[in-house]
Copies of this chain bind each other. A is one copy, B any other.
Amino acid sequence: MNLKQLSKNLGLSQTTVSRALNGYPEVSEATRLRVRQAAEQFNYHPSTRAKGLATGKALAIGHVIPISTKHEMVNPIFGDFIAGAGEAYSRNGYEMILSIVDDASEEAIYRGLKSRRAVDGVVVHGPTLDDPRIPLLNSIDLPFVVHGRSSGATSPYAWLDVNNTRAFHRAASFLYDLGHRRIALINGLESMDFAHRRRAGYEATLHDNAIPIDPALMRSGEMTEEFGYQSTRDMLALKNPPTAIMTSSMISALGVRRAIESLGLVMGRDVSVVTHDDALSYLRNGGDIPIYTSTRSSVRDAGRQLAEMLLAEIANPTEQPQTRLLEAELMVGQSTGPAPTR
């Protein structure tokens, strides 16, 4: 069923039917109702493609997911983020189109999306410290919002981020207040902006309290379970081991706990652990008292909010790029306790 058929069926012109359906005022309420009902009855939906051609809008948002040719890693938070964003899109009649692409061809993809007029805007995932996508997107004039920030950016851009620095500052201070002086950090890849900011927060606490920074207590890598495990084993084997460990992801926190327990130690008593928790649906840190003490911020909710920012930007382009900083909660769980005295 297409417009022509529908309007023939109703004995109206395509113009009138189109207007009736799209809520234009030049149509009497009676006909509008009649048209609506017929559309319903015949299950008529305008072709997105044709509509897009006629209006010049794509009614779609692009998500370009870089998969490094080096590490081949699909970000585990990606599913939840997408779920949040997807909700916002469907509520607004937008579609989400996804490109999985190795970082070599990433620029080509963005240019392609733009020149094929496939999307009205894109969201930028996993920004690095000095992300080339930001100047690129600005230069090709494709609306975008960054999930995270890029410290090296020289021009303004729209972003939504968690206050990673503050979160890790608070978490480290919390550990300090519990008496911990040897606090380790198991962080994400240092090329990622969020990892950089988290480290800054962590170091700020050390600095506040005149604790020297010990490189032996800092690791950075892809946040797998194994990485958490190995790093923890290594550090607990030091002559002067940490009494507390901060980690950037629930997944590596699982490895941290495993390492602790594998040494016959108890998490929360012998070694305290604080993790960042993206509130992933398949990694609930739940219970009445959460297992892990964590800096928590729902990545799903971030997806939802970011999508709405982007849609708003597209609906009425502003000169001023919007930004939004979310605060993470510090949730106290069972994985932290006073520093053991020895």
Contact residues of A with B, CB < 8 Å? Answer: 1, 43-50, 52-53, 58, 60, 65, 67, 72-76, 78-80, 82-83, 86-87, 90, 95-101, 111-112, 115-118, 222-226, 251, 254, 257-258, 261-262, 280-284, 286-287, 300
Contacts and interface: CB of A to CB of B under 8 A. Distances in A.
B251 A283 contact: yes
Contact of A95 (B118, B222, B283): B118
A101 B91 CA distance: 10
Contact of A284 (B67, B116, B226, B281): B226
Contacts of A280: 74, 76
A15 B205 CA distance: 67
13 contacts: A43-B111, A45-B115, A47-B117, A48-B117, A48-B118, A73-B282, A76-B282, A83-B100, A95-B97, A97-B98, A226-B287, A261-B261, A261-B262
A96 B98 contact: yes
A101 B283 CA distance: 20
Given A87-B100, A257-B258, A116 B46 contact: yes
B82 A47 contact: no
Given A115-B43, A224-B282, A98 B72 contact: no
A104 to B, nearest CB: 13
B74 A79 contact: yes
B43 A251 contact: no
A47 B44 CA distance: 25
Contacts of A45: 112, 115-116
Contact of A76 (B47, B76, B97, B226): B76
Contacts of A111: 43
Contact of A100 (B74, B90, B97): B90
Nearest to A249: B282
Given A98-B98, A224-B282, A283-B251, A47 B258 contact: no
Nearest to A56: B49
Contact of A60 (B67, B97, B257): B97
B86 A100 contact: yes
A76 B53 CA distance: 37
A5 to B, nearest CB: 12
Contacts of A100: 82-83, 86-87, 90, 96
Contacts of A60: 97
A65 B83 contact: yes
A52 B251 CA distance: 42
A90 B101 contact: yes
Contacts of A47: 53, 116-117
Nearest to A95: B97
A331 to B, nearest CB: 16
Contacts of A225: 254, 283
Contact of A44 (B65, B115, B223, B284): B115
A224 B177 CA distance: 33
Contacts of A112: 45
A99 B79 contact: no
A257 to B, nearest CB: 7
